[in-house]
Structure 1
Amino acid sequence: MKGIKIGLIQQHNNADKADNISRLTKSIVDLAHKGAQLIVMQELHNSLYFCQTENVDCFELAENIPGPSTELFGKIAKENNVVIVTSLFEKRAAGLYHNTAVVIEKDGSIAGKYRKMHIPDDPAYYEKFYFTPGDLGFHPIQTSVGCLGVLVCWDQWYPEAARLMALQGAEILIYPTAIGFESSDTSEEKQRQRNAWQTVQRGHAISNGLPVVAVNRVGYEPDPSEITGGIQFWGTSFVVGPQGEILIQASETKEELLTIDIDLSHSENVRRWWPFLRDRRIDQYGDITKRYIE
Structure 2
Amino acid sequence: MNGDASFRWRQSYRERTPVAELAPYVSCVWVQEVAPDSPPYVFQAVPNGSVEVVCVLGELPFVIGVQLGLTREILAPGTVMVGVRFRPGAAAPVLRTSAGDMVDLTVGCDDLWRGSALRVGELLAGAASAQEAAGLLEAEVLSRVRAATDPDPLVRSAVGMLVFDPANAVRTLTAELHISDSQLRRRFLTAVGCPPEVLHRTLRFWGFLALAQSGPQRRRSLTALAGSSGYADQAHLTRESVAITGVTPSDLLAGIERNCGDNHNHAPTYQPLLRSRALRSTR
Q: TM-score over 0.5 for the alignment?
A: no
Higher helix share: 2
More strand by share: 1
TM-score by length of 2: 0.30
